[in-house]
Amino acid sequence: MARLTVDRLRKRFGQIEALRSATFRVEPGEVLGLLGPNGAGKSTLLACLAGLLLADGGEVRGEDGQVVDPPNRRDALVYLPDAIRPWPDQTTEWVLSFWRVMSGARDDGWPSIAEVLGLDELRGRRLGTLSKGERKRVLLGLTLASPPPVVLMDEPFDGLDLRQTRATIAMFRELAAGGRSLLLSIHSMPDAARVCDRLVLLNDGSTVAEGTLTELRSRAGLNAGADLEDLFLALA
């Protein structure tokens, strides 16, 4: 049974239909990539799943097959939006400690997360003084320290350098191997190909394809050398 099933989710802003019909599943212990051009509805979809926006139609179901309404999703998932700036006047150490207490984070995996993201070197600095990449590392730490089994992230690698991206990808793979499910909206197709078990292609607010890289190549009639850009152009 899928850990999370999204069925025909829709969202409209006035005359703009941001989501027309988003349908896919999130399996236990996988990294699922959400890909699409700007304006495809990726951020709107994540915000609707997290309950920050109320969808105009469709359903989100849990592992038991029952509909999970937005107020009840906080135990099932945690969401990291793109480009947020929380608590700018507080130190990194204060923010990390506060969030871990408030979210009920377990301590067993925290040392590894903090080491991979290099958070110890940022502890005495205020969040408002951090660079884009440093702030992203702190926000990743907050998100991954949270206990829900499903993690939603919008552009998790934005601001990270090559070495940090590689280390974060390896950490994501380790977390998935331990049973967590990660749904990542990713702009970089090479990053998506490296980290994701399966992919959801979103275009014009609708799911156009879902599957592994091999499955999507077969569906598009492309050979094994076809990359994600080829796939998206063939399927979208």
- pLDDT tens by residue, 120-171: 999 999 999 999 999 999 999 999 989 999 999 999 999 999 999 999 999 9
Structure confidence at residue 75 as a pLDDT band (50, 70, 90):
confident
223-235, pLDDT tens digit by residue? 877 777 888 888 8
Is 14 exposed, middle or buried, given 0-12, 13-18 or 19+ CB atoms closer than 10 A? Answer: exposed
Q: Which of 49-53, 71-75, 101-105, 119-123 has the lowest mean pLDDT?
A: 101-105
12-19 mean pLDDT:
95
d(CA 205, CA 173): 28
pLDDT recorded at residue 223: 84
* β-pair partners for 152: 79, 183
Predicted structure pTM score: 0.93
The residue type found at 198 is R
How much is the mean pLDDT over the chain?
Answer: 92
Q: Which of 13-22, 59-68, 85-94, 220-229 has the lowest mean pLDDT?
A: 220-229
Q: Nearest to residue 144, comparing CAs of 110, 187, 97, 94?
A: 110
Structure confidence at residue 82 as a pLDDT band (50, 70, 90):
confident
Query: Over pLDDT 70: what percentage of the chain?
Result: 99
pLDDT recorded at residue 18: 96
d(CA 67, CA 152): 18
pLDDT recorded at residue 88: 93
> What domains are there in the chain, each with its CATH number?
4-76+148-235 (3.40.50.300), 88-147 (no CATH)
Rounded to the nearest 10 degrees, how much is the dihedral formed by the CA atoms of 37, 43, 45, 49? Answer: 150
194-211, pLDDT tens digit by residue? 999 999 999 999 999 999
Is 201 exposed, middle or buried, given 0-12, 13-18 or 19+ CB atoms closer than 10 A? Answer: buried
Check pLDDT > 80 for residue 216. Answer: yes
pLDDT recorded at residue 120: 93
